[in-house]
Amino acid sequence: MAALSRRGEVRPALSTLTASRSEARHLIRQLDVRSVARFSLLFYLTMVAVFLVMAMVLYALAGAAGLIAGFERFIQSLFGFTYFHFAPVRLFFGLLIVGVALSLLGTLFNVVAAVIYNLISDATGGVAVRIEDRHGPGGVPRPLV
């Protein structure tokens, strides 16, 4: 059974498309806790590095635009300080320390979550995942329409 598309091309009917899809069901019964820890730590440390580079670029742009000096004057007048200046090295070092600490905390959280998943998975049998192959014969992707 065939149907015409909006462009006048002949395409298979929906029942043919759904019948030709190959599906596979997989069960995720256990997570390797060490791989979760390695992936989590690398992911979080990468995010810290990206955030620090982004913060440095934005700080440099704000300094070039005069926003940093203006904000320092605002803080001086607001709190009555005679001297207030940002120390960028200390600021970014503090951000690095906080970022690394949060990375370790997030990794610990993910490891605990993986251990809890493994314990619950033993009782329930795991999580079923359905993987659908959208490629036609010969590995060529089929059009969605």
Please write the tens of the pLDDT for every residue from 112-129. 999 999 999 988 888 888
Helix, coil or strand: residue 7? coil
- Rounded to an integer, the average pLDDT of 3-21 is 51
Binned at pLDDT 50, 70 and 90, residue 23 comes out as confident
Domain ranges of the chain: 23-132
Percent of the chain predicted with pLDDT > 70: 77
Nearest to 33 by CA among 103, 118, 136, 94: 118
Q: Distances from the Cα of 122 to the Cαs of 48, 116, 125, in angstroms?
A: 35, 10, 6
Reply yes or no on whether the pLDDT at 67 is more than 50: yes
